[in-house]
Structures are given as C-alpha cells and as structure tokens.
Amino acid sequence: MARKFFGTDGVRGKANTYPMTADMALKIGAAAGRYFRNDGSNGHRVVIGKDTRLSGYMFENALTAGLTSTGMNVLLLGPVPTPAVGLLTTSMRADVGIMISASHNPHHDNGIKFFGPDGFKLSDEAETEIEALIESDITPAQAENIGRAKRVDDGRFRYAERIKSTFPSGMRLDGLKVVIDCANGAAHRVAPEVLWELGAEVIPVGVAPNGLNINENCGSTSPQAAAAKILETGADVGICLDGDADRVMMIDETGQVADGDQLMALLAGRWADQGRLNGGTLVATVMSNLGLERYLDGRGLNLARTAVGDRYVVEAMRANGWNLGGEQSGHIVMTDFATTGDGLLAGLQFLAAMIETGKKASALSKSFETVPQMLKNVRYTAGQDPLAAQSVQDAIKAAEASLVGKGRLLIRKSGTEPLIRVMAECEDDALLAQTVDGIVAEVAAAI
C-alpha cells in the first residue's frame, strides 16, 4: 500500500510547505500520541530531539502540542544527534522517540522521524497505522489527563558517555590531530567534546550553527572544507558528519575522501579477523559499489543488499542476526553499539583502527578499487511519474542490454525528495556516461 506522508525516513519536505507545516506536525503528534498511548493511562512518554534548523523550533512546539493533547508526556532533548534519540528512547523508558531533522538536506527542508521503544526506527506497518490516524478524528485526552512537557538538559552528555564507552577501554587519542566537521548541525558541541575528552587535538569545522547554515558547504555532503583544513593544519585525519550526525565521510591526511563503502569494507575485514562479524555478512544497499562486493567475496565474506534506506539495512540485520551494515552515503550501523547509523561512533572506530595498527588514515581508507560509478538526479514535480513513460522504459531496457556482463544500472525514485536517481556502474567510462546521460535525457523529456 502506497503511503501518503511517510517516505524512506519519516515525513520530510520543505518547511512551511505541505506536508511539513506546523498544522500537520500537530496532527502527526496527536496521531503518534494516540497510537502509543493506547491504554488511556498517563504514564506514557516521548523524547524529542532536533538538529539546528530554524524551523526546528516550530515543529518541536507543534509536535509537543499534539502529543500532550492526547495525554503523552514529552521530554525535550534540544539539539542532539539522531542516534542520541534512539539511545535515549530506550534508556529513558520512553514509548517513542522523535527526531526533527532533514539529515543532509539544506536548511529549508525538515523532517520528522520516529523510533520505537526499542530504539529502532518504526516499521512501515506502524507508520502506515499512524498515517491512518493523521486523517481520522482523534479524540483528545480529558483535561485532567493532558500530558506534561519538560526540558532534559543532559541529553547530549548521556550520549557522549555512551559513545565513549564504545571506544576500546584504556585507549587514548593522544598525539592524533583530528579535523571534525559537524556540518553546523546537531553534533556541533558533542562531537568535538568527545574527541577532546579522548585525548585528540581537535580542529573543529562547521560548529557555528545559525539556523540557516546547516550542511551549507560543509559536512559529509561537502567535505571539501574539511579536506582543505587537513592540508592547512597537517592533521592526521578528518571526520565529516552530516546535519543530524547519523552519517560520516572520512578524510585521510592527503585530503582524499573515503565514503561509507570504504569504511564498511575496513570494519568488515577487521571484524572478520577478530571473529566479530556475525554470519560473515555485511549488509548494504543496492547503491553500494560493485568493488565492495568483489572485495568481500575475495575475503570469503558475504554482501547482503537491501533497498535504499538505512532502516531497510537495519531490518535485514535484525532479521538475520547480522551486526554490521550501512550505506555508501555514510550511514554505518553497528548493532553491537547502536540502533541506527551513527557517524561519530563510526569515526571513532576508524580512529581506533589507526591507533591499533599504527597506520596512517590513507592506508586504511581504501580497502578496494571502486568500479567507476555515475549518479545523476532529475527533479520532477510531485504527482508526476516520468518512469512510467514508454520512452523512458525503452531507454532503460536498451541501457540494461548494453551493460550485460559489463556493469549494472539502477533507476529509482528518491524516498526523501522528488528526484529520479539514475545510477550506473561500468569500467568502460564512455559507455557509463552514454548510459546515464541517455536515460537522464529521456526522463527530463518525459517531465
């Protein structure tokens, strides 16, 4: 069943534009409150975190109003990373956690994503039931049963202590010069604090949020600023987070960027050597590079692919008992430590590898040669379906035929933006460009 409001990672859109309006946020809060406070008692609670977008204030207040109107008690964490919400939902015994963030998107976008009482993101089925409640008449709580709201001032410190506990006991980062780019986002205070407390010399980038500069020319989607800072300062390594700190890109001492695929390859290999990689399997999405698959195969390890979205990676991990997965975009999920992608946690694992092996970042950040990959996006208007056009379907069939035995093609709609994503992999650069550009042209013409 197609969902009306929820995409691959909660409800998302441009702030003050449907469905990301204050009125809709109030309805979403009321619907979630009714869904989780289903026994009428007053002991139910929800934790709410947010990143640093200006619109976060509006949505935080609207959600709080909707939730308390149905009798839920609200605990407001303020700006914290997305993985902190997953952690604190369980540690504070909440029924649900909510993160207000559009992750790596620009400041004018925002989103609302949910975590269940176990700290994992809600299933499609639960979100579908909440959708049905959004469009129904929700009976508010009796006046004496309206929920309460309070600020929780130590949320980031609780998260910091948990993150440090995942770092090898007794290990320090003394002598290591680390650039940390926080994307002017949710981790702008906690990430530099954690690195400093572990002993690193910290060089911060993107730590001056003003509500409008989140992910702007910084962070995991724009690592150039951090790379330049590494070269300027002679730093040993860089960690680039996105706006809500659930994804990461690593940068070596030469300024070269390592994506999520390279980081997963490093961790999978190390964990396999240590007997820690459950089932000898890494979970990644259909977007991960063919080179990663070849690397794992050469190590006698398995790659299980899922649909795009870290929630689908986690679902496969939980269903099969696997403990390592992620996305090329930098979501790294380690269920031994966390319930969702955590960029700072993954970055610390990379730093631990540097300390334990004595190797430079450049020696650890490239485990395999990538197969040339090209990805282009075509924006369309909501309500359109350019992939249904016969001309587009014919172009896709022709492209697939040309890539048989040479590469692969993936065409999909983004789950968070109105974009058609056209991705291909092929070791023939000319054929790669011809394939992607040809399909992009047909999609654009259909639009």
Residue type at position 1: M
Q: Which of 257, 275, 276 is nearest to 334 (CA)?
A: 276
Measured CA to CA in angstroms, residue 226 lies from 179, 183, 340 at distances of: 7, 10, 25
Active-site amino acid positions: 103
Measured over the CA atoms of residue 261, residue 266, residue 269 and residue 271, the dihedral's sign is negative
Task: Give the integer Cα–Cα distance in Å for 68 and 46.
Answer: 10
Task: Give the integer Cα–Cα distance in Å for 276 and 263.
Answer: 16
Contact 120/339 with Cβ under 8 angstroms?
A: yes
- What is the 3 state secondary structure string of the chain? CCCCCEEECEEEEECCECCECHHHHHHHHHHHHHHHCCCCCCCCEEEEEECCCCCHHHHHHHHHHHHHHCCCEEEEEEECCHHHHHHHHHHCCCCEEEEECCCCCCCCEEEEEEECCCCCECCHHHHHHHHHHHCCCCCCCCHHHCCCEEECCCHHHHHHHHHHHCCCCCCCCCCCEEEEECCCCCCCCHHHHHHHHCCCEEEEECCCCCCCCCCCCCCCCCCHHHHHHHHHHCCCEEEEECCCCCCEEEECCCCCEECHHHHHHHHHHHHHHCCCCHHHEEEEECCCCHHHHHHHHHCCCEEEEECCCHHHHHHHHHHHCCCEEECCCCCEEECCCCCCCCHHHHHHHHHHHHHHHCCCHHHHCCCCCCCCEEEEEEECCCCCCHHHCHHHHHHHHHHHHHHCCCEEEEEEECCCCCEEEEEEEECCHHHHHHHHHHHHHHHHHHC
Task: Give the integer Cα–Cα distance in Å for 409 and 308.
Answer: 14
pTM (predicted TM-score): 0.91
Structure tokens at 128: 């579908």
Task: Give the integer Cα–Cα distance in Å for 327 and 242.
Answer: 14
What is the model's pLDDT at position 405? 86
Task: Give the integer Cα–Cα distance in Å for 222 and 191.
Answer: 18
Domains, the chain, ordered by start: 6-153 (3.40.120.10), 155-370 (3.40.120.10), 373-446 (3.30.310.50)
Q: Which of 246, 243, 284 is nearest to 267 (CA)?
A: 284
Residue type at position 101: S
| Residue 237 Cα to chain centre, angstroms | 22
The per-residue pLDDT string of the chain (447 residues; one tens digit each, 9 = 90 and over) reads 467 888 878 899 999 999 999 999 999 999 999 999 978 788 899 999 999 999 999 999 999 999 999 999 999 999 999 999 999 999 999 999 999 999 999 999 999 999 999 999 998 899 999 999 999 999 999 999 999 999 999 999 999 999 999 999 999 999 999 999 999 999 999 999 999 999 999 999 999 999 999 999 999 999 999 999 999 999 999 999 999 999 999 999 999 999 999 999 999 999 999 999 999 999 999 999 999 999 999 999 999 999 988 989 999 999 999 999 999 999 999 999 999 999 999 999 999 999 999 999 999 999 999 999 999 999 998 778 899 999 999 999 999 999 998 889 999 888 777 899 999 999 999 999 999 999 999 999 998
Residue type at position 375: L
**Between β-strands 96-100 and 109-115, what pairing exists: parallel, antiparallel or unpaired?**
antiparallel
Q: Which of 271, 240, 447, 269 is nearest to 368 (CA)?
A: 269
Task: Give the integer Cα–Cα distance in Å for 245 and 103.
Answer: 8
Contact 26/19 with Cβ under 8 angstroms?
A: no
Phi-psi category of 240—alpha, beta or left, where left has phi over 0 and alpha has psi -120 to 50? Answer: beta
| Cis amide leading into 19 (omega within 30) | yes
Contact 184/52 with Cβ under 8 angstroms?
A: yes
What is the model's pLDDT at position 2? 60
What is the model's pLDDT at position 38? 79
